[in-house]
Amino acid sequence: MPAGRRRVGLLLVIGQWQHDPDRLSRFCRDSWTDPLVSCGRGDTLDTLSRYLHPEPDTEAPTTSETTPSGTAGLLRIGELSRRLGVTPDLLRVWERRYGLLSPERTEGGFRLYSAQDEARVRAMQRHLAEGYAAGVAARMALRAPARPAGTEPDDVMAAARAELGEALEGFHDVEAQVVIDRLLAAFSVEAVLRDVVLPYLRDLGDRWGRGEVSVGQEHFASAVLQGRLMGLARGFDLGVGPRALLACPPTERHELGLLCFGIGLRDHGWRITYLGADVPMDTIRDVADRVRPDLVVVCSERMGPLESVIPCLHGLSHDHPTALAGRGASIQVAHITGARLLQDAPMAAAARVAAEMGRREDGPGA
C-alpha cells in the first residue's frame, strides 16, 4: 500500500454509489482501501476522497506545528479528526447540525478546536456507542457540565442539581433522565442520591413552601424521580443478605427518602421488601410476620402519622426489630414504642445499619 494512504474498515453505500458499483470498486482499488468506508447521507466520492487523501484538504494540516501562533492548545480539523477517529466531514456535520463544536477561526478562516470541543466529541461517540440516536447523543454531550481541570466533584454535583431542577421544573422528562444517566455513568448510585437527588428534593420543598415552585412542578418532579428510583430498585429482593421491610404509616405519602434508603441498603448487600407509601399497620404487620425481616423501617416526613399508630408500632417492635425514620420520627415515639430511631439522612443511615447489623450470617437475623 503506498505510504500516506490509510486503510479504512467500513463502507455504507449511500446515494450515488449504490447505483454505480463499477465506480465504487475502482475507487476502492485506487484508494487502497478496504471495500468499506463510513460515510454519511449526502457524502460524495469527492468528500470521501478528501478523507482518504487528506493532503488536498486545505483545512486539514496535520500537525499542531502548523497551527498559527497565539492559538496554543487549539487543534485544526485534521488533527482533531485523527485523534478522535472521526472524519472531518462528520465533524463538520455535527458542528452544523447539532452545534456540538464551537471552533474559533484563524485569520484565514480555518477552524481551530479546543479541548472542550474534543471532550464533547468523545462524549458524543460514547453516547452513540451506548445506542442513543445521534440527536439525543449530541444533546447529552452538550449538556455535560464543562468540568475544567481541578474542578471538585462537589461543584459538579451542585451544577447537576441546578440542571436537574431546570429540566424537571420545565417539565422536561427526557432531559432530567439524561442528567441522571450522565451522573450515574460517572458516580456511584449512593453519591448521586446523597448529593443530587435528596438535596434537590429538600430544596424543591423549601421553594414550594415559599411559593417559588408551583404544585404542578413539585408533583411532576417527584413523579419523575420516583419513577427513576423505582427503576434503580429493580432486583430489590436479590441475593442472600439480611432483609429489610420498608413502609410508610397510614396517610403518609412521602416515600422518596425511604426508597433512597432501600437502594442504599440494597447496595450494602441487603434484600428489600418495599411496601411504599400509606400502608395500613395491619398490612405492615402481616408482611413482617410472613417475610421475617431483620429490620422493619417505618418512615414519616410529617409529625402525626407515627403518633397515631403508637400501639401498633409497639406491638410490631415487640415482635420484629423495628426502626423509625424521617422528620416525623421523634425520640419520644421511638422510646414509647421500643423502636430504634434512625436519625441520619437516608444514605448515611443505610451505611450505618449495614455496618452495625452486617450480613445475615453474623447479624441478628442469623
State how far the Cα of 93 lies from the Cα of 155, in Å rounded to an integer.
Answer: 32
What is the DSSP code string of 167-227?
A: HHHTT-HHHHHHHHHHHHHHS-HHHHIIIIIHHHHHHHHHHHHTTSS-HHHHHHHHHHHHH
Judged by beta carbon, residue 12 or residue 351, the one nearer ligand B12 is 351
The residue whose Cβ lies closest to ligand B12 is: 205
Closest CB 326 distance from ligand B12, rounded Å: 4
**Based on CB atoms, which residue is closest to ligand B12, 262 or 363?**
262
Neighbour count for residue 328 (Cβ, 10 Å):
21
Q: Are 259 and 347 in contact (CB under 8 A)?
A: no
Q: How many CB atoms lie within 10 A of CB 108?
A: 8
Sites of contact with ligand B12 (CB under 6 A): 198, 201-202, 204-206, 208-209, 218-219, 222, 226, 251-258, 261, 297, 299, 301-302, 325-327, 342, 344-346, 349
Cβ–Cβ under 8 Å, residues 271 and 241: yes
CB of 103 or CB of 326, closer to ligand B12: 326
> What's the length of the chain?
366
Kind of pairing, strands 243-247 and 271-276? parallel
> At closest approach, how far in Å is the CB of 221 from ligand B12?
7
Q: How far is the CB of 298 from ligand B12 (least distance, A)?
A: 9
Shortest Cβ 199–ligand B12 spacing (Å): 8
Least Å distance, CB 349 to ligand B12, is 3
Q: What does DSSP say about strands 111-112 and 104-105: parallel, antiparallel, or unpaired? A: antiparallel
Residue 137 vs 221, nearer CB to ligand B12: 221
Which one, 131 or 209, has the nearer CB to ligand B12?
209
- Give least dist CB 237 to ligand B12, A: 18
> What type of residue is 42?
G
Distance CA 6, CA 31 (A): 8
Closer residue to ligand B12, CB minimum distance, 175 or 255? 255
Nearest approach, Cβ of residue 253 and ligand B12 (Å): 3
> Which residues contact residue 113 at a Cβ distance below 8 angstroms, ignoring those fewer than 6 apart?
74, 75, 76, 77, 80, 101, 103
In terms of CB distance, is 150 or 209 closer to ligand B12? 209
